[in-house]
Amino acid sequence: MTIKKLNACFSLLTTVLLIMHVAYNAFCYFTMYYNPAFKWLFSTPLMATVLVHSVFGMLSVFLFGDGDRPMDDPKKNWKTVVQRTSASLFFPLLFLHIQSFDLYKSSAETNNIKLFVTILIVDIVFYYVITLHVSLSVSKALTTLGIITTDEVRRVVDNIALTIGLVVVTVATVIIVRGMIIMFFVTV
């Protein structure tokens, strides 16, 4: 199996783990119930697959060339440009996301509404960057694995993935923002 096919498998596994992570966090913020063991259970495997997917992706693009040359025809390859741009934004935003709960807590304890709003905005941008990346990557992974063989099916899968992604991220964002606002004002 080639690096590109392994990467496609890891990207799909990462997508499943991401959905589980988002669902658990939305549940936590909706019910205000938090269990550190479950948080670890939903975060750690996700981070492991993200790291493997990232390494395989970089190997595929930088060492082996993946066949997509986005700058040759940016109109034709806009999805590749957006996919790679969102991937490059991922780790800086992830670092802030990992620290976000402590930053939210600190902002509430010090009544720092500017910090609270800033972290909230950065987290929301992070959620939508991931959604965009995943939505554009599903059909590419399925094509790489030979599951999608026509442009028509690829377009349908792209539309379905983007629609589901936007609905899920919007609902989860509303629930999480609601929970954060409640925690901020209860702490203050």
3-class DSSP state of 39: helix
Instruction: Give tens-digit pLDDT for 124-159.
Output: 999 999 999 999 999 999 999 999 999 899 999 999
The answer to whether 142 and 157 are in contact (CB under 8 A) is yes
Give Cα separations from 187 to 34, 107, 120, 151, 184 (angstroms).
Answer: 17, 10, 16, 52, 5
What pLDDT, on the 0 to 100 scale, is given for residue 80?
A: 81
Residue 12 has pLDDT above 80, yes or no: yes
Q: Which range (66-75, 78-87, 95-104, 168-177) has the least confidence?
A: 66-75
Show the tokens assigned to 118.
Answer: 């800033």
CB neighbour class for 67 (10 Å; exposed up to 12, middle 13-18, buried from 19) = exposed
pTM of the entire structure? 0.86
Alpha helices in the chain (DSSP H): 3-31, 36-58, 78-109, 113-144, 151-187
Instruction: Give tens-digit pLDDT for 171-185.
Output: 999 998 998 888 888
Average pLDDT over residues 85-98: 90
What pLDDT, on the 0 to 100 scale, is given for residue 1?
A: 64
Distance CA 145, CA 59 (A): 18
Show the tokens assigned to 65.
Answer: 């060339």
